[in-house]
Amino acid sequence: MKNLVWHPHKVTRKDREKIKNQKSCVLWFTGLSGSGKSTIANEVENQLNNMGFHTYLLDGDNIRHGLNKDLGFSDSDRKENIRRISEVSKLFVDSGLITLTAFISPFREDRQQARDIIGEDFIEVFIDTPFEECAKRDPKGLYKKALNGEIKNFTGLDSPYEPPINPEIHIKTLECNVEECAKRIIEFLKEKGYVNV
């Protein structure tokens, strides 16, 4: 953009990572509403915090209370929601944090855009829970409303969810409990050198 100049900082991402003894990244949790994204992301953050690592969790509902409160749920608003979160996540990675995001992010194109913005330390975590199971859990009562026609553009019902084709981490929630799911994700971080224990 005209009249804008990027200002380099004396303190770099590597400097910030060094004092935190970790490598920053974004764990991008995607899945249907009620799949367990927020619950598992919370448990991953809790376990990492207990291990002494520096984290921050960006949750879809929480972000829509502030930064993205002007956005609805049309396809274009969903795209803008994900774009903004991607830019915020990129800043958090630069700060040296292990960043967790819990957003439905239903469209592959938008998740690819997030990957492009964030870069090589984007880790897609597919929280794979069947629609029927999510509808049964229905922690917010949204499935009941959507199935009764009270909510339009509901992901998985009258708005599509495009599952990841090749996520870095694929969690099938019917096969493990929350703690086990979180441990699998942390094992991935250890294997890839993001955390050293």
* Residues annotated catalytic, as ranges: 105
Distance CA 112, CA 179 (A): 28
SS3 per residue for the chain: CCCCCCCCCCCCHHHHHHHHCECCEEEEEECCCCCCHHHHHHHHHHHHHHCCCCEEEEEHHHHCCCCCCCCCCCHHHHHHHHHHHHHHHHHHHHCCCEEEEECCCCCHHHHHHHHHHHCCCEEEEEEECCHHHHHHHCCCCHHHHHHCCCCCCCECCCECCCCCCCCCEEEECCCCCHHHHHHHHHHHHHHCCCECC
Counted residue by residue, the chain has a size of 197
